């Protein structure tokens, strides 16, 4: 249920409605817009009378929501959400570029990548410390040591860090070393993990599952939001189809679809979406043209020798080409690239 307060409703009136709902056992999420305040009611609302709610001072109307994603949907919050990650705003008028190695292999390679990324105009450093791999014999990441390298390079170069968390018991450790928690495609429906990152209040990047519909993706985001974390960024990273020329099929149409259904920012990962280095820049350009709020790519000083996903990683010179081409598309659609934060 959504409670729409009248234009100009006083904070005291909003609080009266909140307390009325809480006494009925409901959880209430408040969204303050430019003109009106909306209250999202979570719980079994079958016993709540819309007529009784609408009789309270300051209430304009009470609406029952049929969509399963109540907090992620636009009926509760019409203004776009902007998520701030270490001073970088995702979801605003500027397009954010994120880049870094699929897996952190060592301090020097990470430092070289981060330095080149910042010089190219990249605003957020990505890098995997814990790497879920299809094969148990593939490189699984450096774990805690990789997190320490990320935190050290963040301090040296001045770029905020996003890295993956794979289990609830890793959240505190990863949150201590990173600015944003990434939920990978394989964990999109790991509901215990979603609940715990919801409680963490740390910004979250939620990747779309490789075989998940848009509705399932938004319902996964709903888990994080329902547990109190409003700082969620959605990441389209390709879905599995019958096509064999690419690793996955990057669903560009998901960007405007999600923008219509949800207020959450949407970024795109064309590296995993295609699995091919030659397609990363073209698909990044297409994503921004379709309305993406950011692009995240994999980059490595020597992709041919990368321990993970070298075939889809850009080299450091290609990072500059990425920023140039995406910047031109952003300008063409009335946006600009987000500048890296000051160190």
CA pair distance 247, 130, nearest whole angstrom: 21
- pLDDT digits 0-9 by tens, 191-209: 999 999 999 989 999 999 9
| CA 273 from centre of chain | 16
CATH superfamily of 2-63: Phospho-2-dehydro-3-deoxyheptonate aldolase; domain 1 (3.30.70.1140)
Domain ranges of the chain: 2-63, 83-337
Half-sphere exposure of 100 (CA within 13 A, CB side): 31
Q: What is the pLDDT of residues 256-271, one digit of tens each?
A: 999 999 999 999 999 9
- Angle, to 10 degrees, between the axis of helix 107-120 and the axis of helix 144-157? 40
Distance separating alpha carbons of residues 319 and 95, to the nearest angstrom: 15
Name the CATH superfamily housing domain 83-337: Aldolase class I (3.20.20.70)
Q: What is the pTM of this model?
A: 0.86
Q: How far apart are CA 69 and CA 73, in angstroms?
A: 6
**Closest C-alpha among 159, 140, 141, 109 to residue 299:** 109
pLDDT less than 70: residues of the chain = 33-34, 66, 131-140
pLDDT number for residue 154:
97
């Amino acid at each position: 249920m959504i409670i729409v307060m009248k234009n100009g409703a006083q904070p005291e009136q909003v609080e009266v409605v909140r307390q009325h709902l809480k006494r009925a056992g409901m959880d209430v999420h408040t969204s303050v817009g430019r003109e009106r305040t909306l209250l999202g009611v979570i719980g079994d609302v079958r016993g709540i009378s819309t007529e009784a709610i609408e009789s309270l001072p300051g209430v304009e109307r009470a609406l029952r929501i049929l969509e399963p994603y109540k907090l992620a949907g636009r009926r509760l919050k019409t203004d776009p959400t902007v998520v701030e990650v270490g001073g970088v705003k995702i979801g605003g008028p500027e397009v954010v570029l994120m880049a870094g190695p699929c897996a952190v292999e060592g301090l020097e390679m990470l430092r070289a990548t981060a330095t080149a990324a910042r010089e190219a105009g990249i605003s957020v450093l990505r890098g995997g410390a814990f790497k879920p791999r299809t094969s148990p014999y593939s490189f699984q990441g450096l774990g805690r040591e990789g997190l320490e390298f990320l935190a050290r390079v963040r301090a040296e170069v001045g770029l905020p860090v996003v890295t993956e968390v794979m289990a609830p018991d890793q959240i505190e450790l990863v949150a201590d070393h990173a600015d944003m928690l990434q939920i990978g495609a394989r964990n999109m429906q790991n509901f215990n993990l979603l609940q715990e990152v919801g409680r963490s209040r740390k910004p979250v990047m939620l990747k779309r599952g490789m075989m998940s519909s848009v509705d399932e993706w938004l319902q996964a985001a709903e888990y994080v939001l329902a547990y109190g974390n409003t700082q969620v960024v959605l990441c389209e990273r390709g879905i599995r189809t019958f096509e064999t020329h690419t690793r996955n099929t990057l669903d560009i149409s998901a960007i405007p679809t999600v923008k219509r259904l949800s207020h959450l920012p949407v970024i795109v990962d064309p590296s995993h979406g295609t699995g091919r280095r030659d397609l990363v820049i073209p698909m990044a350009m297409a994503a921004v043209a379709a309305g993406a709020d950011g692009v995240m790519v994999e980059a490595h000083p020597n992709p041919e020798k990368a321990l993970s996903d070298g075939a889809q990683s850009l080299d450091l010179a290609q990072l500059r080409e990425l920023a140039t081409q995406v910047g031109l598309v952003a300008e063409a659609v009335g946006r600009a690239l987000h500048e890296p934060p000051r160190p």
